[in-house]
Every structure is written in structure tokens, then in C-alpha cells.
Structure 1
């Protein structure tokens, strides 16, 4: 039957998703329920659309909604990232905590996932922790650690972390102390078959140096980071031992991790 001028055209899914992406970009932050009402479709449909747009890097999925990506290379303030993927981060934190033995020496980088990890260490004892994450001293239970060190360097206010060399000196201007750790726990911004990446060059250098000083390395990343690449490469897949995530990767990416002998730990 031929459509007439008075017959309303059915909006194709691709057109709806384009309108949805533009709406999220305009509003900034939205809820699934609000989008379903705005576009007159079911909540399940909106969730599927947002999941696809998140995979494409157009929007960023949050708990119960989404927010504008505003470009993949742009940093997001810590208070914004603390509200994103909260359930996934808590799950990853619990799994990562299981890799840490009492009395271990660990390095932990900046990030909201590693803040969740710090809280998950409440049952641990006698840890030695070195970090560039300025929030960790306030988040980790005092009973969990014997010694806690914070790396010096320039402070990045947007991430509330330091960026600089992974070193300590016994006295000001004295020689550097050669430091090593049992396990480096590194939260990254993106993962693809080429490796792990983040948006800031200084952060990438610091993460890479932590990995070099560790006997083992665990990458912490929720599944929204899969199949993405950001500005600065941290390291390749074969340089790490574990990927701790909320959902196990599939298909080609899973095969690449297996070939690199990365053990995937997921909930």
C-alpha cells in the first residue's frame, strides 16, 4: 500500500538512535525512563539503543541512564565518573581484592574503580600500598595496611591523583629507592586487541612504570571499555597477567586475550 501525505511514517530504529544520541548530547545526562517517555518506546528498547550507542562511543552508559560522551579524548571530572557503572565497579573491586594476599606489597593507580577496590580491602591486613590516587588514604580502612605511600608529582585536580615518576627517595635530593611490588592493580580507560590505553600521556607513563615494577599485573576495567582505544597506550595485552571485569569478553577479543595468556576474572 502506497503511503499518502496523511499517513505517518514509522521511524526506523537507526533514525531513532540518531535522534536519541542528539538528545543525550543536548541534555547531557538522561534516565532510561525519561528517554522511553520522550521517544514513546519501551524501556527495553531504550536500554538496547543505549547499549549500542555506548559500544559505539557515542554516549556513556550510567546506572539507570546515560550521559554525553563529549568526545573520547576529553577527561571527565572524578565526581561524574563516580556515578558511572557503579555496580560493575563494585563487582570488579570484590574480584580484584581476591587476588591480594595479606601482607602483600601492591601498587594501585588512580581511578574510581580502584577507589572501589580500596573500600573492598576492609578484611585485609598488613598490606604495603603505594599509589598516586590521592583519595585512597581516605577510602581504605586503616586496619588493612601496615604502610601506605603516595607518589609525588604534579597533581591533576580532575582525577585527584598525582602524575610523575614511580619513585621514592630516603632523603630530599638523595638517591632513589629501588621499589618493587607483588601486584600492580591498574584501572584503564579502554581496551582493544592492541592493548590498554588511557586519555592522558602522563597517566599512561605512570601506569606503565607501575607495571614494570610489579611481579604480576591485574587490569581493572568494566565491559564498557572493551573495543575502545584512547589517546595514550599503556601497554600491550601480553604484559599483564589478569583482566578483572564484570562481564567476560567474547569473540575475537577473548581470543586475543587467550593468545596473550591473560587470565580473565569476571563475575
Structure 2
């Protein structure tokens, strides 16, 4: 069956059910799961569906999902590698922070069966974990529709009321010399708020963001204890982080 016909069936199924899994679509269309995943990624890029790791969701069920869904699909294999490593660091009974980064979002699939509590400002994270073993605490405040996240002064004050064992955070750029940087002060504020309330801070960062400086430098490298990245990371760069006291996982 060609792509236009597969697309028609996928759209019809998503419209009827609201959400659907890759395996279910593969059985329905009688094709491979690899083909379905490729189709879903292409359809998400066109704004036709909301791409989740396990399948697809009707666009109308999420707030402005298109931009975020497409962002999660970039470097997806590397992001999944990072999140598998990160999930191994999370134990039942722990409380963790998760921010609104696209890499952090992909951690959801690996923690669904853990009996933990998640404090997050990310609407997609909440949506992904609703029907799981995870207990969710959604940060309150003003919703940023572009980021699908809650930000601002009230959100930061909400975070300050809680303590967590670990924080799993994303970043727009990181360098051994200048530390952490972001594309906006708003995003930097939430990162600082969560990091300040966690006993241990993990930075989930694919190798394309290493040794990159963005708009605003907001924290030294010492803010974090662990960098989780992918195998493509430059070994020399990783050694620089280790020499500054950061544990590296890749």
C-alpha cells in the first residue's frame, strides 16, 4: 500500500479513536512498524497529527502540539538513548522534577511503570504520564502555548515549595567554559528553580548542544552533577566536563 492510502487510514483511525499505537496501525494496515513510524513522523511534520513515542494523537487533543511534536522527533534515536540511561537512575519511591525540554519529554516512555512522583511544568509530560503508575504534580502559573509549558513567577514559586531527589532538565546550550545557556530568560528561570530544589541535577543533552553558547548564560557548570548525552559526543569534550567534577553518561 502506498503512502497516500496509508495516510488516509491513519488519519481516519486517529480521528475516530483520538489516539492510536504504532503496533495497532501496523496490524491494521499490514505493514511494518518501521514504515508506520516513518509515516507518522512525516505526518507530524505536516501538522496532521500529534506524534507521541508510542504512536499518534489527534491534534485537537493537545494545545498547539505541532511545533513541540516535531521538535521531539529531531535526533529521536539519540534522545531515546539518553533517556534509557537516565531512566536507570530513577528508583521507585523517588520524587523527580522534569522540565519542558523535548529530550526530557522522551523520558516518559521509560518511566511509565515506575512508582514515582513527577513535578513538571510540561503539558505534554502530563498528558503522556496520565494513565501510568506515575503520580503527577503539575506546576501552576501562566501557560506558554508555544512551549506547551507553564512558566513565570508563580510557576517558580510553586517549584520552590517542593524538594525532589533528582531533577531531569534540558538546556539550549552548554560549554565547559561558560556553563549553561538558554534561548530565553523564561526558560532559564525554570531550570534554576528546579535545580535549586533537587538533591541531584541531571542534564539531558544530545551531543549537538555541547560546547554551544546561546542567548543568555544563566548558570555555571557546577549547577549540575550529571550530563547524560549520546555516543556521538566528542570524548575530549566529555573529559573536560569530567575534569570539572561532572559525571558523564553516554
Query: Which structure 2 residues correspond to residues 77-88 of structure 1 after superposition, within 5 A?
Result: 77-88=67-78
After superposition, give the CA deviation of every residue in 1:166-219 in whole Å (9 maximum; x if it has no partner).
Answer: 333xxxxxxx97311100000111111211222111110110111011100000
Query: Which structure 2 residues correspond to residues 1-267 of structure 1 after superposition, within 5 A?
Result: 77-125=67-115, 127-140=116-129, 142-145=131-134, 147-164=135-152, 165-168=155-158, 178-193=161-176, 194-247=178-231, 249-250=233-234, 253-266=237-250
Give the TM-score, by structure 1 length: 0.64
Q: Distance in 2 between matches of 1:91 and 1:144?
A: 22
**Offset of 1:135 from its aligned partner?**
0.8
Q: Distance in 1 between matches of 2:232 and 2:101?
A: 21
Q: Distance in 1 between matches of 2:117 and 2:77?
A: 27
1:77 is paired with a residue of what secondary structure? helix
Q: Distance in 2 between matches of 1:149 and 1:178?
A: 12
Aligned residues: CA RMSD: 2.4
Q: Distance in 2 between matches of 1:83 and 1:178?
A: 33
Q: Distance in 1 between matches of 2:91 and 2:218?
A: 26
**Offset of 1:111 from its aligned partner?**
1.6
Asked if the contact 1:190–1:196 (Cα under 8 Å) also holds between the matched residues in 2, the reply is yes
Q: Which runs of 5+ in 2 are unaligned?
A: 1-40, 42-65
Give the TM-score, by structure 2 length: 0.68
How many residues align? The count is: 185
Asked if the contact 2:98–2:169 (Cα under 8 Å) also holds between the matched residues in 1, the reply is yes
Asked if the contact 1:128–1:148 (Cα under 8 Å) also holds between the matched residues in 2, the reply is yes
**Offset of 1:78 from its aligned partner?**
1.3
- Residue 67 of structure 1 corresponds to none
Asked if the contact 1:167–1:179 (Cα under 8 Å) also holds between the matched residues in 2, the reply is no
Q: Which runs of 5+ in 1 are unaligned?
A: 1-62, 64-75, 169-175
Asked if the contact 2:184–2:216 (Cα under 8 Å) also holds between the matched residues in 1, the reply is yes
Give runs of ≥4 in structure 1 deviating > 6 Å.
none
Check 1:136–1:251 CA distance in 2 against 1; reply closer, same or farther (3 A cut): closer
1:94 is paired with a residue of what secondary structure? helix
1:96 is paired with a residue of what secondary structure? helix
Q: Distance in 2 between matches of 1:152 and 1:161?
A: 10
Q: Distance in 1 between matches of 2:81 and 2:235?
A: 23
Q: Distance in 2 between matches of 1:265 and 1:253?
A: 13
**Offset of 1:122 from its aligned partner?**
2.3
Q: Which has the higher helix share?
A: 2
**Offset of 1:141 from its aligned partner?**
5.8
Higher Cα Rg: structure 1 or 2? Answer: 1
